[in-house]
Amino acid sequence: MNTKNIYKKTGRLVIYLLLLFMALASLLPLYWVFSTALQLPGYQNEEMDRPISYVESAPPKLYPVGITEYYSQWQKKRTAEREGNVEQAQYHQEKMAEVKEKSFSSFVFLFERTQIMRWLWNSLYIAVVTTLLIVLFDTMAGYVLAKKKFPGRNLIFWIIISTMMIPEQVTLVPTFIIVQKLQIFDSHWALILPNLALAFGVFLMRQFLMSIPDELIEAAKIDGASEWKVFWSIIVPLAKPAMAVLGIFTFVLMWNSFLWPIIVLRDASLYTLPAGLKTLQDANLANFKLLMAGATVAAVPMIIFFLMFQRYFIKGLTLGGVKE
């Protein structure tokens, strides 16, 4: 018995270590983005014979050098002050200011010399509006396909599902023509209207709503509830976990949308954040520190959004996994 418990605990420990390793591996790209955004470009202290850029150094630095360099200069400054060497103390004070300025230079450039706040606002409100519309329409469609019986219901459902196999690139040209015909080119309507529903969202909501007992809907109708009342009072409250999962998926999808915005938008003030970050890259030269700073700014809202709704996200993933 003791041997079995040891094997069980050992196996569980191995699994936890593997999961921990996978979690750290998945976080490594995000850490690399943050680290590069704060890395020192073209820095030289009293111990170097030439300036060194740690952004593109080989081998690469796995941490922002500015942190250790700032602490080192601070220690040297304190030593000089204790020894009464005012000139050296002033030198190290200037180096501390230089390290701080260069470490955050890309963020200062972004917020002072680009339209990143406008791009952030554009991405935020387009993602929020599109997410709300998609969740609403997909929930409605899923409700009809799950609970309403009419000829061709399954055929319509499979036609919707089949559109998921069509690559986005295939629909770019016809969608672009429709946008031009509607005269909404170079406007945010060109980003919102073509994304009023997702086939994946219809599938997700339909599968979830099929698990809701029909007796609840029938009881509400017996009490005199209309279809609209049934939808808002019965279906929507019960479907909140699935709607939250769809909302998170849609928000991230819309926030990261890159190809379609750069096709239909020409005015830089209308750009979303991913499209705006493209303007930071020169045709022949890439400022990796600046690009990583932009990527950091773009990642923060998504992280906050996920942390706010992770309870619904986890609950939605586990729904249906355990039979009660």
Residue type, 95: K
Q: Encoding tokens for residue 99?
A: 């390290």
β partners of residue 43: 52
pLDDT, one tens digit per residue, over 155-176 is 999 999 998 888 888 888 999 9
In the prediction, which pLDDT does 319 show? 54
Rg from Cα positions in the chain: 27
Where along the chain do its domains lie? 2-110, 111-318
The answer to whether the pTM exceeds 0.85 is no
In this prediction, residue 323 has a pLDDT band, given cuts at 50, 70 and 90, of: very low
**What is the CATH topology of the domain spanning 111-318?**
MetI-like fold (1.10.3720)
> What distances in angstroms separate CA 96 from CA 50, 72, 90, 126, 290, one per listed residue?
18, 9, 10, 41, 21
Share of the chain above pLDDT 90, in %: 20
Task: With beta carbons less than 8 A apart as the criterion, state whether 21 and 7 touch.
Answer: no
Residue matched to tokens 């630095």: 61
Closest CA to 261 of 252, 272, 250: 272
In the prediction, which pLDDT does 155 show? 92
- Read off the pLDDT of each residue in 54-66 and give the average, rounded to a whole number: 74
Highest mean pLDDT out of 48-57, 75-84, 199-208: 199-208
Q: Encoding tokens for residue 122?
A: 């554009």
Q: Which of 4-18, 223-237, 249-263 has the lowest mean pLDDT?
A: 4-18
Q: What single string gives the DSSP state of each residue in 121-142? A: HHHHHHHHHHHHHHHHHHHHHH
pLDDT, one tens digit per residue, over 180-194 is 999 999 899 999 999
How far is the C-alpha of 54 from the C-alpha of 289, rounded, in Å? 10
Q: Encoding tokens for residue 318?
A: 């586990």
**Crossing angle of helices 153-162 and 116-147, rounded to 10°:** 150
In the prediction, which pLDDT does 138 show? 93
